[in-house]
Amino acid sequence: MNSIGGDAVTIDRREFMAAAAAGLGSQLVSRSGDALAQTAARPLPPDNGLFPGFEARWVHTNGADIFVRHGGTGQPLLLLHGNPQSHVCWHRAAGALARRYHV
């Protein structure tokens, strides 16, 4: 819930995270061609059969190297994990989501 009273705007954690994810996702999609072109040839973490049909790669950004697994077709859908988790926390949902979205 958000409320506007006077000069103050209050936004709850869910709204903030949804807005942040939407903003980040739109930036990643708009720059995905440039970023994917900068992928380095470095060792990839093992798949262990958890993401069949997904491609794995490293993406270089200003200040960080980001590991990405992606697959599927359709509109882009960015799945984020928190610390101390990794992309593996999405392995059960990613395959089903990839049938409808580019995850």
Summarize pLDDT for 37-77 with one digit per residue, the tens. 554 467 888 877 898 999 999 988 898 988 899 999 999 99
| Percent of the chain clearing pLDDT 90 (strictly above) | 24
User: How far is residue 4's CA from residue 89's CA, in Å, rounded to a whole number?
Assistant: 36
- The neighbouring-strand residues paired with 4 are 9
Give 1 or 13, the one with higher predicted confidence. 13
- Judge if pTM exceeds 0.75: no
The confidence score (pLDDT) of residue 45 equals 80
Indicate the helix (H) or strand (E) that contains 21. Answer: helix 13-37
Looking at residue 37, what is its pLDDT? 52
